Structure 1
Amino acid sequence: MTDSTSSRDGRPCPDALLALAQREERGRLKIHLGAAPGVGKTFAMLTNARRLAADGVDVVVGLAETHGRAETAALIEDLEVLARRPVVHRGRTLMEFDIDAALARRPALLIVDELAHTNAPGSRHPKRFQDVEELLDAGIDVWTALNIQHLESLSDVVGRITGVTIRETVPDRMLERADEVVLVDLTPDELIERLKEGKVYVAENAARAIDNFFRPSNLTALRELALRRTAARVDDQMLQYLRQNAIEGPWPTAERLLVCVGADEHSDAVVRVAARLAKALNATWTALHVDRPDRAATDEASIRRLDATMHLAERLGAERVRVIGTDLVTEILRWARRENVSQIVIGRSVRPPWWRRAWRRGLSEELVAQAADISVQVVTGASDRPRKATPPRGPDPRRLAVGLGVALAAVALSVGVGIGLTHVVDLPNVSMVFLSAVVLCALRFGRASAVAAAVLSFLAYNFFFIEPLYSFTVAKPHELFALVVFLFVAATVGSLAGRAHEQAVAALARARSTRALYEYSRKISGVSALEPLMWAAVTQVAGAIQGSAVALLATGGDLHLIGAFPPDVEMGVTEWGAARWAFQRGEVAGRRSPTLPNAELQFRPLVTASGTVGVIGYAASDPDHGLSEDDERFLASLADQTAIAAERIQLGDRATAAAASAESERLRSALLSSISHDLRTPLASILGSVTSLADFGDRLDEATRKDLLKAIEEETRRLSQFVVNLLDMTRLEAGNLELTVDWVDLADVARAAVARAARLYPGRTLVLAGGDRPLVLEGNATLLEQVLFNLIDNAMKFSDPPGVTRLRLAPRDGTAVIEVEDDGIGIPPDQLERVFDKFHRVAAGDGRAAGTGLGLSICRGVVTAMGGTITAASPIADGRGTRITVELPLPAAGPGPEIEETAS
């Protein structure tokens, strides 16, 4: 449901003017829209571009795809064409649109074909439409082409029609942002003929396309989608023009229906007639209700009927709109003209009594009389028969009695004041004293008290102040006239003041409800779980009606109680039946409703755009009295806000689960990719060596056999290291890595890791500093050795053979510091932290980083489990080199002074 805000007094719509001003600051976008490939979008775009270039316009072709069509290629020959930017991806060189060159050239008009294209990895934007948006924001006019199947909102529809999954899509906002949309149309027969002639695809591809995507039925459906979407866009542009220029419609372009909805019992029939008419005309339609602040609302049944009718209209496809105004006809026609409505549907009004027809016409008759430029259809039938009007809800008897008593007291006080004043000063007329009493009663107790005070003042004024005194007889005619005028003025003023008072009370109540809803919405905006949300909802409802409330949510296809206030609220069989009815049918059920009225609670469905998520039930403290109109409206609004919040939380949970699933899938894919590549290499080497020994062992010399056996041993060790890393990472992720702590000499551990690395990298220079003196701490020797070996292994991989790798050990400020340095290629500054992530490899794909990308991640996990820290720094000298620093806590009675560095 929306509120209507319109431009009045012939002024343009401010929002439309603001949108126009914003569009003037950017480039203009022209989209050539087609139903399918081959209809001639690029050909038409380049033909028009050549004509503009001939007229002196600075036209540049940023990118145009000819697909081997000679006619299209010939159109580019005389135009300036930007060179494409080469992008290397998976060993292939792709030629992409160069947005930087386009921004530097900055032509008046730029041609950028194929708006839905996905750019190659490494481009500034992943999609070409984002390139176009940047060009438009830079003030460059852009012409582009788009097929209807690539529009995001229609991709699933096209997929169902053609059976082809559309992977490249463009957001609908691009079509809405376009300043001009040109439909390039071709009949299905003509397009198929072009395919057969080889003007769209090569011969073998054309035959396959005709059998699949380019079937006549598919092309007809796509053509209809393109025509309808273009017509809708042009219609939106026409509405914008109307609002920008303060032109009131209707313009006879597209059919738009407006159905007027009231609180009477036959409005649902009028809505159904409007729905059938809109379907027959294939037109959009709106259900409009005008709230009158100057007239008190009717009974609760009417309020429920109005809500039910508006919900019915929404289910049938209408847009719900409520506006506020005192003149129904004026408000209806103003809204209709602003929205370019072509037809108004309204039920026939109840004819007023014969004695009122001379000066008052029914709503439908008045609307027909004033809507000279809009067709009005009056729905007749059941609404024409005379019906007994539902009596409005009467005032509170207690408040009425108090008001009458106050009116009597105020008039008595006025008599006393008037008599006292006549003895003090010579007053020719004391009627103003009585008029003051009438106004005071009206402002405090409403119209009933004001009318009573006016009548009593009329009698008292006559009896005490009109001669002959103390008699209701009037001696002079002008006194009688003055008395009658006084009665009229007093009654009128009292009625107006009373109405103002009642409207002020109603406005205050609405303000309180709005404030309460605002506070509630702010309270639930930060709630991220369903249980606290439902607890907030039931406490708010129970406090508003001074009763009890329950909340039930749908889980696994059935309702489950998730919140109740007070907590001892009981749900019987009848209550559960009413709750399930409200959930399944989307209607109010339970107490004081047509469905299961014997239930102790009334249930309202929590309806969202994606369906009903649950129900909320409530019961007032006094079950014999229904809720007021304001309470009903407040509860309806609160239910809507609760439903939206519940849907938001559920969508958030699904998004979190989807993100976790996607992350898990990404890690699984990365792991499988790493294993398939990194484990295949040592296995292939082992297999080759074993096969050589088996087939040619007796013909190989001793040195060759030793080399093959050594290769088998090295690759087996390498394969074993990969498996150990994977197992360690799995244990770390699951929290099952057993950390047996004992006293460990870090120097012994370092020497063992260095020896292990020396066997794996013979001939490489590895220097250990600080390993000649003990450095004792609490830890796990096996895991510490694995950490040091992983750090050394990583340094060796990323440095060239002449380089030197250094391992330093030293105590510092109560910690044992381990530093591993190399003079290799280094780590980019933006990846110093990411190198500790699982499967992350700085130089992936260059042949240097052989491994699963788990070594440093395992190091961080082990070091953190031991209470230490690990960091990376790069570059460390002359723009090269990397230093990995590990700090582990030393015991309180740690080793002595810092050890001198010695090389070994």
Structure 2
Amino acid sequence: MTTPARRGRLTVYLGAAPGVGKTFAMLDEAERRRARGTDVVVGLVETHGRAATAAKTGDLEVVPRRRVAHGGTTLTELDVDAVLERAPQVVLVDELAHTNAPGSRHPKRWQDVRDLLDAGLDVVTTVNVQHLVSLTDDVEAITGVRQRETVPDQVVRDADQIQLVDLSPQQLRRRLAHGNVYRPEQVDASLRQFFREGNLTALRELALLWLADRVDDALTRYRTDNDIASTWPARERIVVAVTGGEESETLLRRGARIAQRAAGAELLAVHVLTTDGLPPAPPAAIAAQRALVESLDGTFHTVVGEDVPSAVVDFARGVNATMVVVGVSRHSRWRQALLGSSSAEIARLSGAIDVHLVTHERARSGAGLPSRLSSLSRTRLVAGWVAAVVVPAAWTAVFAALGRGAVSLPTELMMFLAGVVGVALVGGLWPAVAAAVVSFFCLNWFFTPPTGLLTVADPENLLALVVFVLVAAAVASVVDLAARRTVQAYRSRAEASALAALSRSVLRGEDTADAIVQRLALTFGLDEVRLDERDDPRSPWSAAAHADRGTGAATPAPEDTTTEVLIDDTHRLVLTGRVLPASDRQAVEAFGNQAGIVLEHRRLREQAAAARDLEHAEATRTALLAAVSHDLRTPLTAIRTAVDGLAMPDVELDDEDTAALTTTIQDQALRLERLIDNLLDLSRLQTGSVRPVLRATSLDEVVPPAIEPWLGSLDLDLGEDVPLVRTDGGLLERVVANVVANAVRHSPPGVPVRVAASAGADDVEIRVVDTGPGVPDDRKDSMFQPFQRLGDTGTGLGLGLAVADGLAQAVGATVVAEDTPGGGLTMVVTVPRAGGPR
């Protein structure tokens, strides 16, 4: 089959409810296309016994359906192969969500349609809104009926054309009452149940909203493809700008109320991460606001931008928003007058987007604002202010001692400028500005003619002094900014290193609560860190882990403070020690959030491990019951039959029959004994109750008793120079017996199994060689698992090799499977030599 030049186009008639006329609309389109000369065939149309629908098919060509026998009845389905062979331009396929009969080409009809589209055929199809998989729960809540036949939303969304077929609830109920949808005997029940007016209204709204989403996607693609930057208010989208402050909750709730006024409106919250050096909002506050947005059926978005107003407006335009909700600035009036406000700038940049300004309790309070004040320590600030006075005075004293005229004014200006830069490096911006002002007065008074006066005779000297002050202030500002950015970079690197260390500790398995709090105490130099937990938000807190930097419980100093960091509703960190600056507190909150993720991951991992253990135990129990019910019953049944034969009073047995029955009892009793021994050994291994006694042992004490039941089927070669081994003789005997039993069972009749021993430098190998069917490489790892019969489903529980491997590990030996040259399997039991490495 050649590859089609293009993929077929899909047209979907989407019905708001059954009976609205989807199939009629599809057949109308078929008639229109055929009238234009298009080759149209009916792949499958469901008439549901409606004469009007059958008549609507008219003289359209119908591809015969494929008949499928199922459950004693014959079903008909879309014959995809027949349609492909016919190869029309357009094919009609009704009921896209239909489930095909077993044995069909695909389980679902939408998969059949996909094959037709891939072959280049255009398809016109129908589906009701209640069959969209994303709306299954909503439809069940509305109608009380769970839809079993569904179609993935993306299949319908990817359609080239979607036509909504709709009727008002009253019209649809009248159509139903007139018998145009269901048979008369079904009408009353349908009107009372699924086709209630409320149900139909809700389904109609679901269809409109779902289709609106799809149309909105198409509108977004069109605006992107045509580089349209302006907003088209086709749908209400409310964007709320959140800062992480307490007022953000007020803004979010106001935005949610605005969104609720318009059906289908969306609520979007946006938080801007700035790159201008301002400290970010606390992670805990952002997490709480994210949770609030999601509880209000909105979405939370984070963007990065140098300028907050521009970033908010760019985001709003990108999502085609109709309104931006912002809060009144927290800046004081005088600061707004000097620097402006983000809300006013957003209103200026918004263009056609409405801006809703919301007042709040912190409006114009100036509280909680991020600050650009220097992050230097108090010691450096004090040193900077002292240097702002001492450095100009020192230079003045030096030049005065050198004498007037010894140094030119430009040189003096440069030296004073160097002093200002030094002050900026020590104390930051404002001490440097003060040093520049003091230097200006010193230069003017002592070194600029006329000296001793704050006047300047030469205008060039005045210009030089003014330029000096401006350059000194600019240089000090740049130096201070570089110093602050350096401090922020070091702090960010330290925080990243701390979180990376936590991640590495998790990868190393140190994801316990104790490890987390210990690392937190060491990283931030805290005296004591405690992790509290509770079962639910109403329960009291209890300590889950505790750590301090000493060997015992820390004794807080009087000046220590206690800080609480809430991780989530059921976990919190309690920190005791030094007062944490704002930057460190943000890092601790980030650390706490990471710790919460780690704890949740560990809890889920423990639950998964417990579930796996339970699943393994359940699988073992099920397999054991299934196997035991057969494999224990078989020898018991044989023994019971033989005993009954011997005990029958009215039957006289000759010696040969009596010997045969006696042999059967002995053989089956031995088989039963081995089964029970394996079960007991497996139980002991799984409970860890095997306690080997290791001592120097000769293989002559182990191998002959182990292989005694199969001596007639073995070729034994132990050799006379095999050294002693360090093992538990009884347990090693069980290992050899199980391995030999497995080899004898799988060897061809009349071909002996070879058992040989050879010595190495540090160990002794016992090789059990058979020429049976062997084991594929992909089964060699799993053959030592319990209940693996290796293709032999006749007898045995499949425990022999599992028990052998477990007992071998208990005595320090190994069991490895290798291929026998020429075919078969060789089991190699490796045992340490006595006196060798332990």
- TM-score of the two chains, using structure 2 as the length reference: 0.70
Aligned to 1:341: 321
User: How many angstroms does 1:375 deviate by?
Assistant: 0.8
In the alignment, the residues of structure 2 paired with residue 794 and residue 201 of structure 1 have an alpha-carbon distance, to the nearest angstrom, of 67
Shift of 1:270: 3.2
Change (3 A) 1:434 1:149: farther
- Tell me which residue corresponds to 2:815: 869
- Matched-pair contact (CA < 8 Å) for 1:46–1:75: no
Between the aligned partners of 1:407 and 1:676, the Cα distance in structure 2 is: 95
What is residue 488 of structure 2 aligned with on the other side? 510
Structure 2 counterparts to residues 435-584 of structure 1, below 5 A? 435-475=417-457, 478=459, 483=462, 486-487=465-466, 489-526=467-504, 527=506, 532-554=511-533, 559-566=542-549
2:752 to 802, 807, 820: 807
| Offset of residue 373 of structure 1 | 0.5
- How far the C-alpha of 1:550 sits from its partner, in A, is 1.6
CA distance in 2, matches of 1:662, 1:65: 47
1:806 shift after superposition: 2.9
Superposed CA offset, 1:268-292 (max 9, x none): 4334322332344463333444566
Across the aligned residues of Structure 1 and Structure 2, the Cα RMSD in angstroms comes to 6.7
Q: What is the alpha-carbon distance in structure 2 between the residues aligned to residue 199 and residue 445 of structure 1?
A: 86
Counterpart in 2 of 1:601? 562
Partner of 1:834: 782
Aligned counterparts, 1:781-800, within 5 A? 785=737, 788-793=740-745
> Residues 689 and 891 (structure 1 numbering): CA distance in 2 closer, same or farther, change over 3 Å?
closer
The equivalent position to 2:686 in structure 1, one of 720, 733, 749, is 733
Cα 1:887/1:451, change in 2 over 3 Å? closer
Q: Which secondary structure state, in structure 2, belongs to the residue aligned with residue 345 of structure 1?
A: strand
AA aligned opposite 2:754? L
How far apart in 2 are the matches of 1:774 and 1:217? 91
Structure 1 Cα separation of the partners of residues 486 and 118 of structure 2? 47
SS at match of 2:754: strand
Partner in structure 2 of residue 231 of structure 1: 212
Name the SS for the 2:239 alignment partner: strand
Q: Which runs of 5 or more structure 2 residues have no equivalent in the other structure?
A: 1-5, 760-764
Q: Cα deviation per residue 1:158-214 (whole Å; 9 max; x = unaligned)?
A: 66666677889888887888888776768788599889979899999x999999888
1:24-80 Cα offsets, whole Å, 9 max, x none, are x9999998877788989899899989999999999999x989798897998999699
Question: Secondary structure of 1:662's partner?
Answer: helix
How far is the alpha carbon of 1:337 from its aligned partner?
1.2
State how far apart, in whole Å, the 2-side matches of 1:77 and 1:730 are. 72
Asked whether the 8 Å contact 1:722–1:851 carries over to 2, the reply is yes
Paired residue secondary structure (1:504): helix
**Aligned-pair CA distance for 1:456:** 1.5
Q: How far apart in 2 are the matches of 1:520 and 1:133?
A: 52
Give the conservation status (yes or no) of the 8 Å contact 2:529–2:576. no
The answer on whether the counterparts of 1:85 and 1:97 sit within 8 Å (CA) in structure 2 is no
Seen in structure 2, the aligned counterparts of structure 1 residues 686 and 868 have a Cα distance that, compared at 3 Å, is: same
- Tell me if the contact between 2:270 and 2:300 (Cα under 8 Å) persists in the aligned partners: yes
Report what 2:571 is aligned to: 614
The alpha carbon displacement at 1:252 in A equals 1.1
Letter in 1 for 2:594: Q
Q: Displacement, 1:355?
A: 12
How far 1:804 moved relative to its partner?
3.0
Alpha-carbon distance change, 369 to 144 in structure 1, aligned in 2, over 3 angstroms: same
1:789-811 residue CA offsets vs partner (Å, 9 max, x unmatched):
4554456xxxxxxx736331332
Secondary structure, aligned partner of 1:837? coil
SS in 1 for 2:450: coil
- Compute the displacement of 1:712 (Å): 11
Q: CA deviation at 1:254?
A: 2.7
**Secondary structure at the residue paired with 1:509?**
helix
Letter in 2 for 1:807: P
Contact 1:446 1:497 in 2 (8 A): no
Cα gap change, 1:454 to 1:279, in 2 (>3 Å): same
Partner of 2:3: none
Tell me how far 1:333 sits from its aligned partner: 1.5
**Corresponding position of 2:762:** none
- Change in Cα spacing, 1:873 to 1:652, as seen in structure 2 (3 Å) is same
Which amino acid letter does the alignment assign opposite residue 871 of structure 1? Answer: A
* CA pair 563-344 structure 1, distance change in 2 beyond 3 A: same
Shift of the 242–629 alpha-carbon distance from structure 1 to 2, 3 Å rule, reads: farther
The percentage of aligned residue pairs carrying the same residue is 31
**Pair 1:503–1:182, CA change in 2 (3 A):** farther
Task: State yes or no: 1:373 paired with 2:357.
Answer: no
Aligned-residue offset at 1:734: 3.5
Equivalent positions of 1:123-522 (< 5 A) are: 190=172, 224-225=205-206, 227-236=208-217, 238-239=219-220, 242-243=223-224, 246-262=227-243, 266-281=247-262, 283-290=265-272, 294=276, 316=296, 319-321=299-301, 323=303, 325=305, 327-349=307-329, 362-380=341-359, 398-412=379-393, 415=396, 423=405, 431=413, 434-475=416-457, 478=459, 483=462, 486-487=465-466, 489-522=467-500
Structure 2: distance between partners of 1:56 and 1:678: 73
Cα distance in 1 between the residues matched to 2:782 and 2:739: 18
Q: Specify the SS of the correspondent of 1:804.
A: coil
Aligned-pair CA distance for 1:883: 2.6
The residue type equivalent to 1:503 in the other structure is L
**Does the CA contact (< 8 Å) of 2:706 and 2:736 recur in 1?**
yes
The residue number in structure 2 matching 1:660 is 613
TM-score normalized by structure 1? 0.65
Secondary structure, aligned partner of 1:838: coil
Counterpart contact for 1:689–1:711, Cα < 8 Å: no
Aligned residue for 1:883?
824
Unaligned 5+ segments in structure 1 are 1-24, 576-590, 592-596, 756-767, 796-802, 894-904
Question: Given residue 755 of structure 2, which amino acid in structure 1 is its aligned partner?
Answer: A
The amino acid of 1:250's aligned partner reads T
TM-fit CA distance, 1:644: 1.7
What is the CA distance between 1:403 and its match in structure 2? 1.8
Q: Is the 8 A contact 2:68 2:74 kept in 1?
A: no
CA contact (8 A) 1:531 1:563 kept: no
Query: How many residues are matched?
Result: 795
Distance between the aligned counterparts of 2:608 and 2:407, measured in 1? Answer: 83
Local SS of the residue matching 2:256: helix
Contact 2:326-2:343 within 8 A present in 1 as well: yes
Q: Structure 2 vs 1, CA of residues 794 and 175 (structure 1 numbering), >3 Å: closer, same or farther?
A: farther
The amino acid of 1:618's aligned partner reads L
Name 1:818's counterpart in structure 2.
768
> Aligned with 1:344: secondary structure?
strand
Secondary structure in 1 matching 2:482: helix
Per the TM alignment, residue 452 of structure 1 is displaced from its structure 2 partner at its CA by 0.9
Q: Which amino acid aligns with 1:274?
A: G
Give the AA of the match of 1:512: Y
Per-residue CA distance 1:702-741 (angstroms, 9 max, x = gap): 9xx99x9999979987888876765554444334579899
Work out which of the residue numbers 560, 568, 589 in structure 2 matches 1:636.
Answer: 589
Say if 2:530 and 2:573, in contact at 8 Å, map to a contact too. Answer: yes
Aligned CA distance change for structure 1 residues 549 and 665 (closer, same or farther; 3 Å): same
Give the letter aligned to residue 471 of structure 1: L
Query: SS at the partner of 2:251?
Result: helix
Instruction: Note closer, same or farther for the CA distance 1:186–1:541 as it changes in structure 2 (3 Å cut).
Output: farther
Report the residue type matching 1:770 in the other structure.
D
Shift in CA distance, 841/615, structure 1 to aligned 2, threshold 3 Å: same
| Structure 1 residues 632-682: Cα deviation after superposition (integer angstroms, max 9, x where no partner) | 222222222222222222222222223333333344444455566777889
Q: Is the 8 Å Cα contact of residues 50 and 79 (structure 1) preserved in structure 2?
A: no
2:46, 2:95 within 8 Å by CA — same for their partners in 1? no
Q: Secondary structure at the match of 2:235?
A: coil
Distance 1:175 1:664 in 2: 44
Amino acid at match of 1:606: I
Shift in alpha-carbon separation, 1:474–1:857, aligned structure 2, 3 A = closer
CA contact (8 A) 1:792 1:805 kept: no
